[in-house]
Structure 1
Amino acid sequence: MSSSCPICQQPLTHAENGFDCLHCNRHFNPIALCPDCHRPLQVLKACGAVDYFCQHGDGLISKKRIEFVPDTQVV
């Protein structure tokens, strides 16, 4: 899936800690989405482990199935 920068409409590149726009030099944090309902997941952190939970009926989601998309809301 390809995303565009909400500021300059150029393609975003995937970085280790999110998404970057190389054209306007902005960074966008990642949002974890449920692969089934495509809604944001709740991140559960405990004892060094990170788990993902869908509050919309799909329960715990495997890390291998999560979709990460850029948080492109401009504040």
Structure 2
Amino acid sequence: MSQHCPACQQPLSATDSGFHCPSCARDYDAEARCPDCQQPLQVLKACGAVDYFCQHGHGLISKKRVQFAPLSP
């Protein structure tokens, strides 16, 4: 899934910490979203493991299914 810059609508590049817009030189943090309802996921971290939980009725979401979107400033 291609992500677009919230400011200029140009395609974003993925970085280690989120997204970067080469067109307007802005950086965005990544937000984990539920693949079923597109709502933000709660990130659960324990003992080095990272899990994702949907508070809108979809329960635990596999890391393979999580969709990351740019978090608007």
TM-score by length of 2: 0.87
Deviation string 1:25-60 (CA, Å, 9 cap, x unpaired) is 211011111111111100001111111000011111
Matched residue, 1:54: 54
Shift of 1:69: 0.9
- Gaps (5+ residues) in structure 1? none
| RMSD between superposed Cα atoms in Å | 1.3
Aligned equivalents of 1:3, 1:13: Cα separation in 2: 8
Choose 47-56 or 6-15, whichever is displaced more. Answer: 6-15
- Over the matched positions of the two proteins, sequence identity in percent amounts to 63
TM-score by length of 1: 0.85
Paired residues in the alignment total: 73
- Gaps (5+ residues) in structure 2? none
| Cα separation, partners in 2 of 1:7 and 1:38, compared to 1, 3 Å | closer
SS of 2:8's partner is coil
Matched residue, 1:16: 16
Say whether residues 1:36 and 2:36 are aligned partners. yes
Deviation string 1:1-29 (CA, Å, 9 cap, x unpaired) is 22322333322111122110112221101
Matched residue, 1:4: 4
